[in-house]
Structure 1
Amino acid sequence: MPQNYAIALLLLSNSFHQSTLVVLVPVLQSIYDLPLSALSLIIGGGLLVSAASVPLWGRLATRHGTKPVLIATTTASMIGIAVLAASVALTISSDQFIYSGLFLLIASRLIYSMSACAALPISQALQVSSGQATALLGRLGSLGAVNSLGRLAGNGLIGPLLTFGILLPVAIVLPFYAFVLHGLRRTSWPEPAKLARQAQKIPGYRLPTVGILSAGGIQLAVGGAYVLLGPLLKDRLALSPEGASGVAGLLLMAALATGMVSQLFLTRLFRDRFMSAFTIGCGLASCGFAFLVVGSTMAGLGIGTCLLASGTALALSANQATSLAAANDIYRSQTSTLLASVQLLGLAAGTSLFGILGSIDVAQALTAAAFLPLALAIAVPSHHFLKASLQTIREGSHE
Structure 2
Amino acid sequence: MPAIAASTFHQACLVVMVPLLQDVFDLTLSMIGVVVGTGLMATAISLPAWGRVEAYIGALGALRIILSFAVLSVSAIAISFLLVSYALISPLLGLAVLITARVAYSITVPALLPLTQAILARNTQNSSKLLTPIGRLSSMTGLGRLAGNAAVAPLLLLGGAAPLVAPIPVYAVCLFFAFKQSSPATIKRPKSREQKDRFTLPKTALLIGFALQLCLGATYVLLGPLIKDSMQLDSTEATTFASYCLTAAVLSGLVAQLGLLPIFRKHTSIVQITSAMSFTAGLTLLCVAHTLPFIAMSAAIIGASAALLSATNSVYLLKQLPASFKAKGSTTLSCSQFAGLATGSILGGFGGEASLTLTFSFATLIALVFCVGGSGFVISHKPVARPLRPSDI
TM over 0.5: yes
Is 1:324 matched up with 2:315?
no
Deviation string, structure 1 residues 291-345 (Cα, Å, up to 9, x no partner): 3456676554443332222111100111011112212222222221221221122
Counterpart in 1 of 2:389?
none
Separation in 2, partners of 1:85, 1:101: 10
Deviation string, structure 1 residues 180-223 (Cα, Å, up to 9, x no partner): 235446387897xx4523x8688215233111111112223333
Task: Give 1:76's match in structure 2, choosing from 69, 91, 113.
Answer: 69
| Aligned partner letter, 1:72 | I
Separation in 2, partners of 1:298, 1:384: 36
Is 1:309 matched up with 2:300?
no
Separation in 2, partners of 1:296, 1:166: 28
Is 1:250 matched up with 2:241?
no
Q: Which runs of 5+ in 2 are unaligned?
A: 387-393
Is 1:36 matched up with 2:27?
yes
| Aligned partner letter, 2:297 | I
Residues 136 and 272, structure 1, Cα contact 8 Å, conserved in 2: no
Q: Would you say how many aligned residue pairs link Structure 1 and Structure 2?
A: 377
Separation in 2, partners of 1:147, 1:92: 30
Is 1:377 matched up with 2:377?
no
221-230 vs 302-311, greater mean Cα deviation: 221-230
290-299 vs 140-149, greater mean Cα deviation: 290-299
Counterpart in 1 of 2:261?
267
| TM-fit CA distance, 1:116 | 0.9
Separation in 2, partners of 1:9, 1:247: 26
Residues 149 and 243, structure 2, Cα contact 8 Å, conserved in 1: no
Structure 1 residues 189 and 211: CA distance shift in structure 2, 3 A: farther
| Aligned partner letter, 1:268 | P
Give the SS at the match of 2:381: helix
Residues 196 and 202, structure 1, Cα contact 8 Å, conserved in 2: no
Structure 1 residues 266 and 36: CA distance shift in structure 2, 3 A: same
Residues 66 and 333, structure 1, Cα contact 8 Å, conserved in 2: no
Separation in 1, partners of 2:220, 2:92: 33
Structure 1 residues 36 and 329: CA distance shift in structure 2, 3 A: same
Separation in 1, partners of 2:238, 2:96: 34
Separation in 1, partners of 2:195, 2:267: 27
Task: Give 2:213's match in structure 1, choosing from 205, 219, 223.
Answer: 219
255-264 vs 314-323, greater mean Cα deviation: 255-264
Separation in 2, partners of 1:115, 1:355: 24
Residues 54 and 337, structure 1, Cα contact 8 Å, conserved in 2: yes
Which structure would you say has the larger RCO, counting Cα contacts within 8 Å and 6 or more residues apart? 2
Residues 62 and 330, structure 1, Cα contact 8 Å, conserved in 2: no
| Aligned partner letter, 2:46 | S
TM-score normalised to the size of structure 2?
0.77
| Aligned partner letter, 1:174 | I
Residues 225 and 366, structure 1, Cα contact 8 Å, conserved in 2: yes
Counterpart in 2 of 1:350?
344
Separation in 2, partners of 1:234, 1:100: 28
Separation in 1, partners of 2:163, 2:238: 27
Is 1:56 matched up with 2:49?
yes
Structure 1 residues 67 and 272: CA distance shift in structure 2, 3 A: farther
Structure 1 residues 181 and 282: CA distance shift in structure 2, 3 A: same
Counterpart in 2 of 1:386?
381
Residues 25 and 92, structure 2, Cα contact 8 Å, conserved in 1: no
Give the SS at the match of 1:141: helix
Task: Give 2:195's match in structure 1, choosing from 182, 196, 203.
Answer: 203
Separation in 2, partners of 1:302, 1:189: 47
| TM-fit CA distance, 1:71 | 2.4
52-61 vs 362-371, greater mean Cα deviation: 362-371
| TM-fit CA distance, 1:367 | 4.4
Deviation string, structure 1 residues 83-129 (Cα, Å, up to 9, x no partner): 44565677789947998876654443232222111111212222213
Counterpart in 2 of 1:240?
232
Residues 19 and 224, structure 2, Cα contact 8 Å, conserved in 1: no
169-178 vs 249-258, greater mean Cα deviation: 169-178
| Aligned partner letter, 1:240 | Q
Residues 15 and 220, structure 2, Cα contact 8 Å, conserved in 1: no
Q: Which runs of 5+ in 1 are unaligned?
A: 1-7, 393-399
Structure 1 residues 184 and 280: CA distance shift in structure 2, 3 A: farther
Counterpart in 2 of 1:127?
120
| Aligned partner letter, 1:208 | P
Structure 1 residues 160 and 48: CA distance shift in structure 2, 3 A: same
Structure 1 residues 129 and 190: CA distance shift in structure 2, 3 A: farther
Q: Percent identity?
A: 28
Query: Superposed, which structure 2 residues align to 1:94-133 within 5 Å?
Result: 95=88, 104-131=97-124, 132-133=126-127
Counterpart in 1 of 2:335?
341
Query: Superposed, which structure 2 residues align to 1:145-164 within 5 Å?
Result: 145-161=139-155
